[in-house]
């Protein structure tokens, strides 16, 4: 079973080969002091280091005193960590007077603007803190969020959370491109861990960027995007491919070639451009966005069904970047205005978080902030 080290220059769970399962949670911090916030982050880091190494937290599930509740809840006892990564982030609302962090808020940690067509539900937006737990085993990812929430009791509580059951991105060249719930390959043109120059330029915060404490960190934008798959499923294959701009089978650009052929946006086919003016891959491509790139790391979700019997399905979009002001925001603005896909999707949740650099052995995530 794969074990990813918790400590290091960067937090794991960003360029790490995307695991199959996600449990993501955003937290509101309670009325606690700055010192108590720091001790929460220390406790979280210590527990995360143990769990990602495949060890139970504290005295474990069975080795503690019999007359006290066990430190570890136990459901991961016989399970290997299955590539568990635990990634922590800080939302804009953490940087207020409560903790005296006003001056430390990075300029890049903006309040996201309202995008055309946004249908955000208050209960699915924001958060002072976030935790992204990814593993190839859903119970291991769940155990991480459950345990960290339990450790936070009285100090922070879950504001919203999301389970994801299938990755919608590949983040290394060795991984096969998975499919999203529209049935299309997703992640083909993603930033991959092997593209070290792209990762350095577009994902990690470099030394000398606005907030020094974020050096080696990144910014996470999450969007819960409902996909009206019933409508999509009544749409002709030709139309589905026109909306995406790629073939459904191989995922090749409609301008020709195979999956990893670079799209040719000028190429004509049937008297018009082969890749439609409103196709998702045209509008999201770096060529239309001043070279902006994202490291996408999203997951498919299905949260049961609505009262009309439609599946409450979609994509929990997660993207990492060096600066959302020049990456997520302009891309999403262009998509929100013109993407043909908008007929089939609705953004219902949103979050933006500063993901600090990794912790050194003996240190904790967020240490550079305090």
* Position 297 contacts ligand HEM (CB under 6 A): no
Q: Which is nearer to ligand HEM, 55 or 267 (by Cβ)?
A: 267
Q: Which is nearer to ligand HEM, 109 or 331 (by Cβ)?
A: 331
Taking the C-alpha atoms of residue 107 and residue 110, their distance in angstroms, rounded to an integer, is 6
Among the listed residues 227, 38, 250, 225, the one whose alpha carbon sits nearest the alpha carbon of residue 121: 225
- Selected from 180, 222, 321, 340, the binder of ligand HEM by CB under 6 A is 180
* Position 167 contacts ligand HEM (CB under 6 A): no
Q: Which is nearer to ligand HEM, 10 or 185 (by Cβ)?
A: 185
- Distance (Å) of CA 159 to CA 25, 82, 110, 166, 312: 7, 27, 20, 23, 20
Segment contacting ligand HEM (CB under 6 A): 21-29, 55-63, 93-101, 327-335? 327-335
- Selected from 95, 204, 317, 320, the binder of ligand HEM by CB under 6 A is 317
Give phi and psi for 213, each to the nearest 5. -65, -15
- Selected from 27, 232, 316, 328, the binder of ligand HEM by CB under 6 A is 328
Name residue 351's beta-bridge partners: 222
Least distance in Å: CB of 180 to ligand HEM?
5
Segment contacting ligand HEM (CB under 6 A): 2-10, 195-203, 328-336, 352-360? 328-336
Least distance in Å: CB of 344 to ligand HEM?
8
Q: For the chain, what is the radius of gyration of the CA atoms?
A: 21
Least distance in Å: CB of 233 to ligand HEM?
14
Residues near 302 by Cβ (< 8 Å), separated by ≥ 6?
165, 181, 311, 312, 313
Among the listed residues 219, 221, 214, the one whose alpha carbon sits nearest the alpha carbon of residue 367: 214
Least distance in Å: CB of 182 to ligand HEM?
5
Taking the C-alpha atoms of residue 4 and residue 13, their distance in angstroms, rounded to an integer, is 9
Q: Which is nearer to ligand HEM, 94 or 329 (by Cβ)?
A: 329
Segment contacting ligand HEM (CB under 6 A): 55-63, 125-133, 265-273, 284-292? 284-292
Answer whether 141's CB lies under 8 Å from 134's CB: yes
Among the listed residues 31, 36, 56, the one whose alpha carbon sits nearest the alpha carbon of residue 46: 56
Among the listed residues 5, 7, 73, the one whose alpha carbon sits nearest the alpha carbon of residue 216: 7
* Position 225 contacts ligand HEM (CB under 6 A): yes
CA 253 to chain centre: 25
Structure tokens of 265? 């946006």
* Position 332 contacts ligand HEM (CB under 6 A): yes
Q: Is 78 helix (H, G, I), strand (E, B) or coil?
A: coil
Q: Lay out the site mask for ligand HEM across 237-276 (x = CB under 6 A, - = otherwise).
A: -------x-x------------------------------
- DSSP notation for 6-39: S-SSS-SSSSSPPPSEEEEEEEEE-S--HHHHHH
* Position 352 contacts ligand HEM (CB under 6 A): no
* Position 19 contacts ligand HEM (CB under 6 A): no
- Selected from 82, 130, 151, 331, the binder of ligand HEM by CB under 6 A is 331
Least distance in Å: CB of 335 to ligand HEM?
5
Least distance in Å: CB of 135 to ligand HEM?
23
* Position 182 contacts ligand HEM (CB under 6 A): yes
Q: Is 208 helix (H, G, I), strand (E, B) or coil?
A: coil
- What residues make contact with ligand HEM under the rule CB under 6 A? 180, 182, 184-190, 223, 225, 227, 244, 246, 280-281, 284-286, 294, 315, 317, 328, 331-332, 335, 345
């Amino acid at each position: 079973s794969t074990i990813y080290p918790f400590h290091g220059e960067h937090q794991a769970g960003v360029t790490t080969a995307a695991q199959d399962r996600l449990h993501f949670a955003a937290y509101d911090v309670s009325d606690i002091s700055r010192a108590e916030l720091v001790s929460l982050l220390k406790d979280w880091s210590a527990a995360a280091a143990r769990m990602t190494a495949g060890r139970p937290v504290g005295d474990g599930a069975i080795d503690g005193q019999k007359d006290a509740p066990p430190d570890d809840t136990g459901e991961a006892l016989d399970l290997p960590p299955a590539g568990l990564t635990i990634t922590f982030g800080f939302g804009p609302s953490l940087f207020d007077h409560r903790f005296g962090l006003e001056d430390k808020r990075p300029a890049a940690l903006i309040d996201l603007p309202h995008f055309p067509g946004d249908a955000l539900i208050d209960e699915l937006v924001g958060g002072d803190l976030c935790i992204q737990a990814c593993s190839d085993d859903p119970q291991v990812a769940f155990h991480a969020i459950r345990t960290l929430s339990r450790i936070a009791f009285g100090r922070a509580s879950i504001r919203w959370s999301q389970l994801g059951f299938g990755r919608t991105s590949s983040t290394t060249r060795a991984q096969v491109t998975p499919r999203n719930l529209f049935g299309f390959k997703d992640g083909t043109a993603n930033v991959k861990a092997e593209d070290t120059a792209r990762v350095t330029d577009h994902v990690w915060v470099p030394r000398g960027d606005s907030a020094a404490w974020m050096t080696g960190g990144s910014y996470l934008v999450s969007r819960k995007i409902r996909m009206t798959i019933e409508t999509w499923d009544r749409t002709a294959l030709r139309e589905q491919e026109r909306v995406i701009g790629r073939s459904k089978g191989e995922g090749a650009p409609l301008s020709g070639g195979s999956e990893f052929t670079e799209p040719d946006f000028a190429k004509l086919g049937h008297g018009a451009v082969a890749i439609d003016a409103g196709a998702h891959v045209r509008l999201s491509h770096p060529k239309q966005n001043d070279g902006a790139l994202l490291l996408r790391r999203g997951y498919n979700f299905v949260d049961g069904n609505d009262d009309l019997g439609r599946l409450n399905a979609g994509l929990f979009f997660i993207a990492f970047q060096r600066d959302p002001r020049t990456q997520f925001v302009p891309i999403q603005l262009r998509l929100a205005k013109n993407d043909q896909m908008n007929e089939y999707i609705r953004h219902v949740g949103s979050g933006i978080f500063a993901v600090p650099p990794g912790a050194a052995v003996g240190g904790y995530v967020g240490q550079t902030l305090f």
